[in-house]
């Protein structure tokens, strides 16, 4: 029986079985992590090679627009140079998820790795009245790593943004200490006050168009 580090059976993983005579055959581990084959001799040493792709993860849990993030997954059984594909998807609650980018790469040192720089693109999907009532949420992304018939999926990565506000009069002079209300894409309103130089920086906001009103 094949189990993981927590003692749980490893299932639905391809394997290659080599018998004492050097003959090889392939199969998939059963639901209890065992290999069941008939017609095999009782004596002799058998070698089993598992083929798995797992532990897909981002280099961070959240990032800002323009950040470069690293994508990685661990690989067992596949030789270096084996072709691999990474698909990055945007989670779209209430409708089909969107394929954002496809990266072709190779297995190297028991891993599949790539880097991705996020640039915000305005969603051009049709917006229903129900969507408007639900409001806007910060975009979240996941990715698949595929090597031959094996694949794994990562967790979610959230992207955030920031905005810098600067207020001047017609002659270019700063207007300090002015209160403002910033209307975010998700419907939230952030209120604040400009500093003595007539500027303010608002961080950790969802990417997208904002509107500002000075009070």
Tell me the per-residue pLDDT of 150-165, one tens digit each, with 9 for 90 and over: 999 999 998 888 889 9
Q: What CATH number should be reported for the domain holding residue 81?
A: 2.60.40.10
Matching residue, tokens 């749980």:
8
Q: Both 77 and 127 in a single domain?
A: yes
Q: Both 169 and 143 in a single domain?
A: no
Q: Both 33 and 58 in a single domain?
A: no
- Which of 176, 155, 152 minimizes the C-alpha distance to 166? 176
pLDDT at 62 over 60: yes
Give 209 or 129, the one with higher predicted confidence: 209
Q: Both 95 and 144 in a single domain?
A: yes
30-41 per-residue burial string, b: 16 or more CB within 10 A, e: under 16: eeebeeeeeeee
Give the model's confidence band at 183: pLDDT under 50 very low, under 70 low, under 90 confident, else very high: very high
Helix (H) / strand (E) element for 202: namely strand 199-205
Q: Both 152 and 210 in a single domain?
A: no
Tell me the per-residue pLDDT of 72-116, one tens digit each, with 9 for 90 and over: 999 999 999 999 999 999 987 777 888 999 999 999 999 999 999
Q: Is residue 2 part of a domain?
A: no
DSSP 129: H
In the predicted model, what is the mean pLDDT of residues 189-193?
92
pLDDT of residue 209: 83
pLDDT of residue 131: 45
Q: Is residue 4 part of a domain?
A: no
User: How many domains does the chain contain in total?
Assistant: 3
122-135 per-residue burial string, b: 16 or more CB within 10 A, e: under 16: eeeeeeeeeeeeee
Q: What is the pTM of this model?
A: 0.69
Rounded alpha-carbon distances, angstroms, from residue 157 to 63, 115, 118, 143: 8, 14, 11, 9
Q: Both 171 and 103 in a single domain?
A: no
Q: For a pLDDT cut of 70, what percent of the chain falls above it?
A: 85
What does pLDDT average to over the chain? 84
Q: Both 150 and 66 in a single domain?
A: yes
In the predicted model, what is the mean pLDDT of residues 40-48?
73
Pairing mode of beta strands 98-106, 83-90: antiparallel
DSSP 131: H
Q: Is residue 134 part of a domain?
A: yes
Q: Both 108 and 171 in a single domain?
A: no
Q: Which range of residues forms the domain containing residue 33?
A: 14-45
Cα(80)–Cα(138) distance, integer angstroms: 37
């Amino acid at each position: 029986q094949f189990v993981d580090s927590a003692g749980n059976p490893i299932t639905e993983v391809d394997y290659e079985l080599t018998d004492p005579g050097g003959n090889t055959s392939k199969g998939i581990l059963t639901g209890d992590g065992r290999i069941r084959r008939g017609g095999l001799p009782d004596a002799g040493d058998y070698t089993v090679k598992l083929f798995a792709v797992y532990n897909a993860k981002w280099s961070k849990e959240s990032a800002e627009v323009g950040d470069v993030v690293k994508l990685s997954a661990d690989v067992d059984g596949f030789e270096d140079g084996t072709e691999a594909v990474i698909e990055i998807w945007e989670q779209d609650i209430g409708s089909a998820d969107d394929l954002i980018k496809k990266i072709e790469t190779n297995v190297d040192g028991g891993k599949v790795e790539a880097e991705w720089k996020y640039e915000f693109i305005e969603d051009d999907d049709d917006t229903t009245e129900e969507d408007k009532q639900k409001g806007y949420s910060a975009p979240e992304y996941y990715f698949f790593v595929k090597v031959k018939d094996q694949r794994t999926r990562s967790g979610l990565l959230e992207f955030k943004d920031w905005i810098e506000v600067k207020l001047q009069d017609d002659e270019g002079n700063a207007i300090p200490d002015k209160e403002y209300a910033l209307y975010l894409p998700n419907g939230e309103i952030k209120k604040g006050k400009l500093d003595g130089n007539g500027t303010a920086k608002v961080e950790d906001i969802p990417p997208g168009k904002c509107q500002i009103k000075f009070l």
